[in-house]
Structure 1
Amino acid sequence: MGKTDKNNSHLKSPDLLPISYHKRKIGVMGFFSMWIGMAILLATFNIGASGVQSITLPWVVLATLIGCIAVGIFISIVGDIGVEHGLSFPVYMRAPFGIVGTHIPSLARAVTASFWFGLNTYFGSTAINSIIHTINSGFDNWLLCYIIFAIVQLINTASGIKWVERFADIAAPIIIILSLIIYHTLTTDIIEHGNNVWAWAENPVTGGAALTAFMIVIFANMGFWATLGCDIPTISRFFKAPKYEKNWFKRNRTNLIGSLIALPLTETFMIMIGAAAFMVAGSSNPVIALQETASGWMLAMLLLMIVLTQWSTNTAANIVPAAAIFTNALGPKASNAIAVFIVGIVGTIIQPWSVYEILTQALLFFGAVLSSISGILFVDYYLLRKRRVNVQELYQHKGQFKYHGGINIAGFIAWAIGGAVAILVIDYSFIVGFVLAGTIYFVLAKYWYFNKFPQAEIEDPSDEKYLGITVGRDWVIDENSGDRQEEVIG
């Protein structure tokens, strides 16, 4: 194998090749269940607890619905990259950032996902520790619970996306039932102490301060899912979609129903639980609140829900996307299973539980950095390439996406400026980062950079050459050579 072939092979890790039509197994109910699992996690409760410190629960609920629907739209829009072409996030990022440049923003996302893995595993381990302590009062070792819980989640994810979906299908109904019990338990305690769940606020504010608090809840929710808004293609490439379907809404039906129905409803309910937990115990952590309001087997059962939610969130929303990125960065020698365990190691070393008390601020910061990437992805895919992608070149070391030494300078300029400005106005970070970075990238790419580096799909906007499932095409990449191949589904 020559030097060029070796370089190309580095871009062709088996886990990063386009997903063919017959391997797309996740349907509407599958992704709906995955969203139920992903949206129910302890970190979500923190937003509700923070909100009711300033404004009442109805306003927190409204802000959450607005934020979730807005970010759900972004997720559905970006998800078309995976549905149309079967491409994962780090592979498509080679278009707006270059075959080398993709690693920097992609790894920023991978580290963020690893952060969430570590935080969710910590929450789950404290719940497991409490369950065992309820049964055996002599046991108290959250670190041992953390190690075991982490290994179980990593093995589940390393077994493949189908096992992730199967776990979500099993866990979702259990989670819903136990969530209702938790909310009932907490609100009953609040009512018994003479408080009105829907009218209570710790330090109520009015006027401009109330509006600011309302907007912070909106953008905290958006920032929370800015991570998945970036790399939803890594999951959506497994979605079932009709061949030869030109209607965008019909083609993205699985994503739309999950992201615009399951996400807003589930997250809003979790926000309500977080708010209720704060009213009961002065903490957004339901583990603490439940320990004050329940006991015995009831407490153990409710804590089990906490474990299931962290597990289902981690596998789909954190480990799968981050593992794809680490595979892209490390090349063919890093199989998906190895990359999965790298996520676990990174997420543990970071020790994210140490920043839980400032989680809302962390969410807004993540939103600034990652929403800028989402804005660039949107502009590159929809406004510049108009959904057409020269997929074969994404896997070529000396192809169209080499740019300046493998780096698309326009993408990095847009990301740097958009992300920096969004951080400066952090309360509105998601929308500022998305719009500003996208606008800058559009101007730089269209009027400067793509004049220097012509893009085939822009120069010759052919549906037959550069669309995927819309024209019935499976993109096929030869893993062993630089030869380019494509197959059209019959």
Structure 2
Amino acid sequence: MGTSAEKVVATPIQTQYKTGLDETLKPKSDKERTVGLLNYIFMWIGDGVNLGNMTLGASLVVAGMATLNIFQTFAAAVIAIGIISTVFALNDRLGYKTGIPYIVQLRMSFGVKGSIISSLCRGIPAIVWYGFQSWTGSTALNEIAKIVSGGAFDNIAICFIVLQVVQIVLSMYGFHAIKWVETLTSMVIMIALLYVFGVLLTSHSNVIAEKWVHAKGSWGLPFFSFIMMFMGNYAAIFLSAADYSRELKSGISNTKRGLLYFLPILIAYGLTLTIGAMLASVTGISNPVKAFAVVVNNSYITVFVSAFIVIGVVAVNMVANIIPPTYVITSLTKLKFKPAVVVTGLLALGSFPWVLVQDSSAKGLGLFILIYSAFLGPIVSILLIEYYILRKQKVNISDLYNENGPFAGYNPAAVIAMLVGAGAAFIKVDLAWIIGAVVAGITYILLMKYAFKDSKFKIGTIFEKEKTGSIKSVLQR
């Protein structure tokens, strides 16, 4: 499957770097990989049990009635998670085998300079998600402060800043901090949410049955739109799959890695989506934290649940929303990892996350997901086609780190295909991810085959012609 070629070039790479890149962007050796199977499972459970996913569930309830009933909701979820896990396992393979991060993987298709555009398409949504998660977490922290102070303190903005400072400090320790934070908190958060689920089920079952379980729903556009929204919610994460798989201990088969994504995401997403839809059905409030305060009319329990919501926010941000954009900033600015973490946190402070979700509606969050997934679908399609079809899983990793080598500059075929795919996606935003992915993939293959005949990016692909000697000679000058 091309693994031998990757192993040959991956080992000497460790001593060949003179690229000015921070150490965090160089390939991870087997000895440097410290995340085991159990930690990896807890990491994805912790990532899935978060307010963003709960808000996604709440977005199903519009004007007091769910747009999908419970069966349609979970059918859409299972379909989406199956696709997500498959793409995850496919796209994580290069990072898992060679230890390179996503920001370097991009160079394979887009080139050194072209990867700047595509990396920003991953980094910007992550920063906004970082800010959104922190803002919703700060509303939970504010609930705790109000109860503890007897109502004397009520300032979400201050809580927002405090929470950001804590996350910035923790994230400076990278995946070492993620591993213990996720393992410690994920199961405790699940227990807390199961309690809330029990309260909703025993005290408000009639309302939930009327507004969600027995809702007419739709098997049409709303159903497929929810699948796309669901996938869009994970699009940024599985796009940068290499950032996570490079930390996972070696020796795990592709099938097992697929299950390492599918099962935790299914469990965590199933619970959070359900609670989000149930809370919105009962209260009519799309912000889960405020809905919790209405449903759980007990200050002690509210403090307990809110505390673990805050912990959950920290956990999911450290997995999905801090490390990837930090790598992007490190690559673009040549900053070291820790200063880049601080910049990421400050940018998240200015992302205006409170605009995405109002008390009465979470449609802003759904629209945001659909819009950015219009760009992410094309990028992941291009990466998969490049690695599996055009290069047959054979990539010279040394070349990816050589800023003056065969991947220097930008690949016009990849950039054009990404823009064409994104443009097509906006024709029908509700189906943005799949439209963008399909159109960009087809466009990329056609451009690589028929356009830019002297492009150096064809070298090493199935479209490399016998007359590539002229291209190679140009590269050697």
TM-score category by the smaller chain? 0.7 to 0.9
The CA distance in 1 between the partners of 2:121 and 2:89, in whole Å, is 21
Corresponding letter in the other structure for 2:300: W
- Residues 376-395 of structure 1 mapped to structure 2, 5 A cutoff: 376-395=382-401
Match of 1:177 in 2: 191
The CA distance in 1 between the partners of 2:180 and 2:108, in whole Å, is 33
Deviation at 1:329, TM superposition (A): 0.7
Answering whether residue 352 of structure 2 is matched by residue 351 of structure 1, we say: yes
Corresponding letter in the other structure for 2:342: F
The CA distance in 2 between the partners of 1:96 and 1:171, in whole Å, is 38
Deviation at 1:205, TM superposition (A): 4.7
List runs of 5+ in structure 2 lacking aligned partners: 1-16, 465-477
The CA distance in 2 between the partners of 1:353 and 1:255, in whole Å, is 36
CA contact (8 A) 1:164 1:316 kept: yes
Match of 1:85 in 2: 98
Answering whether residue 290 of structure 2 is matched by residue 288 of structure 1, we say: yes
- Residues 28-427 of structure 1 mapped to structure 2, 5 A cutoff: 28-52=37-61, 53-137=66-150, 138-191=152-205, 194-195=206-207, 197-198=208-209, 200-201=211-212, 204-205=215-216, 209-242=218-251, 250-252=252-254, 255-294=257-296, 295-331=298-334, 334-356=335-357, 357=362, 358-402=364-408, 406-427=409-430
Deviation at 1:203, TM superposition (A): 11
The CA distance in 1 between the partners of 2:46 and 2:102, in whole Å, is 22
Match of 2:25 in 1: 16
The CA distance in 1 between the partners of 2:340 and 2:388, in whole Å, is 30
CA contact (8 A) 1:11 1:395 kept: no
The CA distance in 1 between the partners of 2:180 and 2:398, in whole Å, is 32
Matched residue SS, 1:238 = coil
The CA distance in 2 between the partners of 1:413 and 1:226, in whole Å, is 20
The CA distance in 1 between the partners of 2:253 and 2:21, in whole Å, is 27
Which region of structure 1 is more displaced relative to structure 2, 126-135 or 279-288?
279-288
List runs of 5+ in structure 1 lacking aligned partners: 1-7, 243-249, 462-490
TM-score normalised by L of structure 1: 0.85
Match of 1:478 in 2: none
The CA distance in 2 between the partners of 1:185 and 1:337, in whole Å, is 42
Q: Pairwise CA RMSD of aligned residues?
A: 2.1
CA contact (8 A) 2:379 2:418 kept: yes
Corresponding letter in the other structure for 1:172: S
Corresponding letter in the other structure for 2:263: I
Answering whether residue 467 of structure 2 is matched by residue 443 of structure 1, we say: no
Matched residue SS, 1:225 = helix
Deviation at 1:210, TM superposition (A): 4.1
The CA distance in 2 between the partners of 1:447 and 1:11, in whole Å, is 36
TM-score normalised by L of structure 2: 0.87
Deviation at 1:108, TM superposition (A): 2.0
The CA distance in 2 between the partners of 1:253 and 1:22, in whole Å, is 23
Deviation at 1:316, TM superposition (A): 0.8
Deviations 1:225-276 (A, max 9, x none): 000121111111111122xxxxxxx533563222111112211211000011
Q: Percent of aligned pairs with the same residue?
A: 27
Structure 1 pair 139–92 and aligned structure 2 pair: CA distance change class (3 A):
same
Count of paired positions: 437
The CA distance in 2 between the partners of 1:258 and 1:353, in whole Å, is 33
Which region of structure 1 is more displaced relative to structure 2, 449-458 or 307-316?
449-458
